[in-house]
Structure 1
Amino acid sequence: MYRRTVRRLAIVAVTAMALSAAPCAWAATTSSSTTGDAFYTYGGSAPLSSFAPGTVLNSRTLQYHIEGIATPVTAIQLLYRTTDAQGRPAANVTSVVRSITGNTTKAVSYQSFYDSLNPQDGPSRAIAGKVTLGGTIANFESAALSALVLQGDNLVIPDTEGQSADFAAGPEYAFNTLDSIRAAINSPLTGLNGGTRFGLMGYSGGSIATDWAAALAPSYAPDVNRKLVGFAEGGVLVDPAHNLKYVNGSLVWSGVIPMSLIGVSRSFGIDLTPYLNSYGLQVYSRLQNGSLLDALGHYPGLTWQQIAKPQYANPDSVAAFVEAVNRVDLGSAPTPTVPGYIAQGDGGVLEGTFANPPGVGTGDGVMVAGDVRALANQYCATGDSSISYDQYNLLSHVGAAPAWALKAGSWLNDRFAGKPAPSDCGHIPAGNSLAPERTVPSL
Structure 2
Amino acid sequence: MSRQSVRRLTVATAAAMAITAAPLATATAARAATPGAATADSFYSYDGSAPLSSFAPGTVLRTRTLQYHVEGISTPLTAIQLLYRTTDALGRPSANVTTVVRSLTGDSSKAVSYQSFYDSLNPADGPSRAIAGDVSLGGTIANFESVALSALLAQGYNLVIPDTEGQSADFAAGPEYGTDTLDSIRAATSSVATGLNSDTKFGLMGYSGGAIATDWAAALAPSYAPDVNRNLVGFAEGGLLVDPAHNLSYVSGALAWSGVIPMALIGVSRSYDIDLTQYMSSYGQQVYNQLQSASIVDALGHYPGLTWQDMAKPQYADPDSAPAFVAAVNRINLGSAPTPTVPGYIAQGDGGVFEGTFGDPAGIGTGDGVMVVGDVRALANQYCATGDGSIEYNQFDALSHVGTAAVWAPLAVSWLNDRFAGKAAPSDCGRIPAGNSLAPERTVPTS
* TM-score bucket (shorter structure): over 0.9
**How much does 1:381 deviate?**
0.3
Query: Which residue is equivalent to 1:29?
Result: 32
Q: How far 1:17 moved relative to its partner?
A: 5.9
Q: Which residue of 2 aligns with 1:205?
A: 209
- Matches of 1:380 and 1:25 in 2, distance apart? 45
* Cα shift at 1:26: 5.2
Cα RMSD after superposing both structures: 2.0
The answer on whether the counterparts of 2:16 and 2:141 sit within 8 Å (CA) in structure 1 is: no
In structure 2, the residue corresponding to 1:141 is in which secondary structure? Answer: helix
> Does residue 388 in structure 1 map to residue 392 in structure 2?
yes
Deviations along 1:81-115, one digit per CA (max 9) or x if unpaired, are: 00001111000000000121241111000000000
Counting only pairs closer than 5 Å after superposition, residues 49-88 of structure 1 correspond to structure 2 as 49-88=53-92
Runs of 4+ displaced beyond 4 Å: 16-23
Select which of 301, 319, 339 maps to 1:297. 301
1:226–1:149 CA distance, 2 compared to 1 (3 A): same
Q: Specify which of 186, 194, 199 is matched with residue 195 of structure 1.
A: 199
Aligned to 2:426: 422
In the alignment, which residue of structure 2 is the partner of 1:161?
A: 165
Q: Is contact 2:259–2:299 with CA below 8 Å preserved after alignment?
A: yes
Instruction: Describe how 1:97-136 pairs up with structure 2 within 5 A.
Output: 97-136=101-140
SS at match of 2:30: coil
1:336–1:280 Cα change, 3 Å: same
| 2:340 is the counterpart of 1:319 | no
Match of 1:288 in 2: 292
Q: 1:297 offset after TM fit, Å?
A: 0.3
Give the TM-score normalised by the residue count of structure 2. Answer: 0.94
Corresponding residue for 2:141?
137
- Offset at 1:29? 1.6
Shift of 1:41: 0.2
Secondary structure, in 3 states, of the residue corresponding to 1:423? coil
Is the 2:43–2:83 contact (alpha carbons within 8 Å) kept by the matching residues of 1?
yes
User: Alpha-carbon deviation of 1:18?
Assistant: 12
Is 2:27–2:137's contact at 8 Å kept on the other side of the alignment?
no
Change (3 A) 1:24 1:290: closer
Tell me if structure 1 keeps the 8 A contact 2:211–2:241.
Answer: yes
- TM-score relative to the length of structure 1: 0.95
**Does the 8 A contact of 2:281 with 2:312 survive in 1?**
yes
Q: Distance in 2 between matches of 1:175 and 1:17?
A: 26
Cα distance in 1 for residues equivalent to 2:270 and 2:250: 23
**Once the 2 structures are TM-superposed, how far is the Cα of residue 28 of structure 1 from its aligned partner?**
3.1
SS at match of 1:271: coil
SS class of match (1:435)? coil
2 CA distance for matches of 1:377 and 1:72?
44
Name the CA distance, whole Å, in 2 between partners of 1:161 and 1:145: 20
Which of 358, 368, 371 is residue 367 of structure 1 equivalent to?
371
Structure 2 stretches lacking a partner, 5+ long: none
Query: Could you tell which deviates more after superposition, 28-37 or 161-170?
Result: 28-37
Letter in 2 for 1:252: A
Matches of 2:168 and 2:192 in 1, distance apart?
Answer: 28
SS in 1 for 2:61: strand
Q: Report 1:235-384 matches (<5 A).
A: 235-384=239-388
Kindly state the Cα deviation for residue 34 of structure 1 after the two structures are TM-superposed: 3.8
Kept in 1, the 8 Å contact 2:127–2:161? The answer is yes
Aligned: 1:402 with 2:409 = no
Greater Cα offset, 135-144 or 275-284: 135-144
Paired letter, 1:326: N
Q: Contact (CA 8 Å) 1:336, 1:385: kept in 2 or not?
A: no
What's the CA shift string for 1:117-151, capped at 9, x where partnerless?
00000000000011111101101111211111111
Query: How many angstroms apart in 1 are the aligned matches of 2:418 and 2:386?
Result: 24
Q: 1:187 to 1:341 in 2, by over 3 A?
A: same
Q: 2:174 aligns with which of 170, 177, 185?
A: 170
Counterpart residue type for residue 443 of structure 2: T
Return the offset for 1:177.
0.1
| Cα pair 1:170 1:328 within 8 Å, conserved | yes
2:220 to 212, 216, 222: 216
Partner of 1:92: 96
Q: Distance in 1 between matches of 2:277 and 2:32?
A: 33
Contact persistence 1:34–1:129 (CA under 8 A): no
User: What residue identity is the alignment partner of 1:43?
Assistant: D
CA contact (8 A) 1:239 1:330 kept: yes
Contact in 2 for aligned 1:55/1:183 (Cα 8 Å): yes
* One-letter amino acid matched to 2:97: V
Q: 1:205 to 1:162 in 2, by over 3 A?
A: same
What letter matches 1:24 in structure 2? A
Q: Distance in 2 between matches of 1:17 and 1:300?
A: 23
Per-residue deviation at 1:19? 11
> Contact 1:78–1:93 (CA<8 Å) still a contact in 2?
yes
Q: Taking structure 1 as reference, are residues 289 and 33 closer, same or farther at Cα in structure 2, changes over 3 Å only?
A: closer
> CA–CA distance in 2 between the matches of 1:248 and 1:421?
37
